[in-house]
C-alpha cells in the first residue's frame, strides 16, 4: 500500500475535524456578533427616539407658552373692558346729573321770565344792593357756563370711552380666536408626540425607560432640595381645553427625577414623555380627579400616557389597579 493511500483516511479525518470546528466556531460567534449588531442598532434607535422626543418637548413648550401668552392677553383685555365699562357708567351718571341741573335752571328761568340788568337797577334798594344782585347774577351765569363746559367735556370723554370699548371688544374676539387656535395646535402636537411614543419598538421603549432611571440616579447626588409639600387642593384650576387619554401607571420608588428634583412618592407629581416641566395636569380616573405637576419623563410603554406618584394614584383610587384608563387635561391656577 502506498504512503498516499495510507495517509488518505487521516487527511479525511483531519478535514472533517476542521470542518466541524469551523461550523462550531461560526455557530458560536454568529449569535455574539448578531447581539452586538442588535445592541448597537438598539442604542442608535433609542438615541434617535430620545432626540425626537426632546424636539417634541420643545415644540409643546412653545405651544403652551403661546397659549399662556394669549390667555394673559385675553385676561388683560377683559380687565380693560371692565374698567372702561365702569368708566362709561360713571360718566353716564355724571352727565345725567349735570343735564338735570341744566334742565332745572332752564325751567326756573322760563317760569320767572329771567332776570335783566334793568330790572335789577329798578328794584334795587341802593347801590350796595344792586352790586350784590349783579354779582349773584354773574355767578349764576358763570356757574351755568362752567356746568355746560363740564357737560360737553364729559360727553366727549364718554364718546372716546365707547370707541375704546368697541376697539377692546374687537381685540378680545381676536385674542380669543388666537387662544382657541393655540389650544387646537397644542392638542395636535401632544397627540403627535403620544402617537410617536406609542409606535416605538418595545425594546426601544425599555431602553428609554432604563436611560431615564440611570439619568435620575446620576442626578440624585446633585439634586436641589425638593418641595415636599403637596399642592394646595383648595386652589381653583382652570382647564385649558388641551386633553388626552390613555393608560396611567404609578411608581413609588426612585431617587431623582428628570427635572432634577428629588423623587417624593408623597408629592402630587407625575412623569410625562413630552410636556414641559411644571405643567399642571388634572388626571381623572372613574370620576375621581387629582391635579399633578410634571417633573419627570416617561412612561414609555405603549398606550401609557402618564406615570403618577403613589400618593396621586391613591387619591383617585388607582393604586390597587396599578394601571388604569384616565382622562387628562392641562390646567392653570386661577
Question: Cα 258 from chain centroid?
Answer: 20
Paired sense of beta strands 237-251 and 304-309, if any: parallel
* Residue pLDDT, tens place only, 143-191: 667 777 787 888 898 899 899 999 999 999 998 998 888 888 888 888 8
pLDDT in tens, 28-67: 444 545 555 557 787 788 788 888 888 888 888 888 888 8
Report the length, in residues, of the chain.
334
Tell me whether the omega of the peptide bond preceding residue 76 falls within 30 degrees of 0, making it cis: no
The beta strands (E) that lie in the chain are given as 237-251, 269-271, 280-285, 288-296, 304-309, 323-333
Instruction: Pull the grid cell for residue 308.
Output: 403618577
Domains of the chain with bracketed CATH: 1-199 (1.10.287), 225-333 (2.40.40.10)
Phi first, then psi: what are they for 288, rounded to 5°? Answer: -105, 140
Say what the pLDDT of residue 46 is. 79
b/e sequence 239-260, b meaning 16+ C-beta within 10 Å: ebbbbbebbbbbbeebebbbbe
The model's pLDDT over 240-294, given as tens digits with 9 standing for 90+, comes to: 888 999 999 999 877 788 888 888 999 999 999 889 889 999 999 999 999 999 9
pLDDT at residue 228, as a whole number: 42
Amino acid at each position: 500500500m502506498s504512503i498516499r493511500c495510507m495517509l488518505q483516511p487521516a487527511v479525511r479525518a483531519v478535514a472533517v475535524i476542521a470542518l466541524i470546528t469551523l461550523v462550531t466556531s461560526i455557530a458560536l460567534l454568529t449569535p455574539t456578533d448578531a447581539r452586538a449588531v442588535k445592541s448597537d442598532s438598539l442604542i442608535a434607535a433609542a438615541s434617535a427616539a430620545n432626540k425626537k422626543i426632546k424636539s417634541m418637548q420643545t415644540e409643546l413648550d412653545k405651544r403652551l407658552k403661546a397659549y399662556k401668552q394669549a390667555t394673559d392677553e385675553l385676561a388683560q383685555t377683559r380687565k380693560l373692558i371692565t374698567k372702561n365699562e365702569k368708566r362709561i357708567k360713571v360718566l353716564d351718571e355724571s352727565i345725567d346729573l349735570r343735564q338735570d341741573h341744566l334742565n332745572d335752571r332752564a325751567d326756573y328761568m322760563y317760569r320767572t321770565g329771567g332776570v335783566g340788568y334793568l330790572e335789577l337797577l329798578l328794584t334795587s334798594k341802593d347801590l350796595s344792593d344792586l352790586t350784590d344782585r349783579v354779582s349773584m347774577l354773574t355767578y349764576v351765569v358763570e356757574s351755568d357756563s362752567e356746568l355746560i363746559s363740564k357737560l360737553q367735556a364729559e360727553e366727549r370723554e364718554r364718546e372716546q370711552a365707547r370707541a375704546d370699548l368697541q376697539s377692546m371688544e374687537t381685540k378680545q374676539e381676536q385674542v380669543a380666536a388666537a387662544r382657541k387656535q393655540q389650544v387646537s395646535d397644542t392638542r395636535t402636537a401632544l397627540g403627535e408626540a403620544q402617537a410617536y411614543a406609542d409606535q416605538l419598538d418595545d425594546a426601544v421603549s425599555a431602553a428609554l425607560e432604563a436611560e431615564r432611571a440611570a439619568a435620575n440616579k446620576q442626578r440624585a447626588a446633585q439634586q436641589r432640595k425638593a418641595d415636599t409639600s403637596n399642592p394646595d387642593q383648595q386652589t381653583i384650576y382652570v382647564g385649558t381645553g388641551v386633553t388626552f387619554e390613555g393608560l396611567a401607571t404609578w411608581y413609588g420608588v426612585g431617587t431623582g427625577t428628570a427635572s432634577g428634583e428629588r423623587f417624593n412618592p408623597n408629592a402630587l407629581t407625575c412623569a410625562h414623555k413630552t410636556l414641559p416641566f411644571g405643567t399642571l395636569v388634572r388626571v381623572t380616573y372613574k370620576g375621581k380627579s387629582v391635579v399633578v405637576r410634571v417633573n419627570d419623563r416617561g412612561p414609555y410603554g405603549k398606550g401609557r400616557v402618564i406615570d403618577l406618584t403613589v400618593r396621586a394614584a391613591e387619591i383617585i383610587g388607582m393604586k390597587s389597579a396599578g394601571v388604569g384608563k384616565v382622562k387628562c387635561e392641562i390646567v392653570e391656577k386661577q
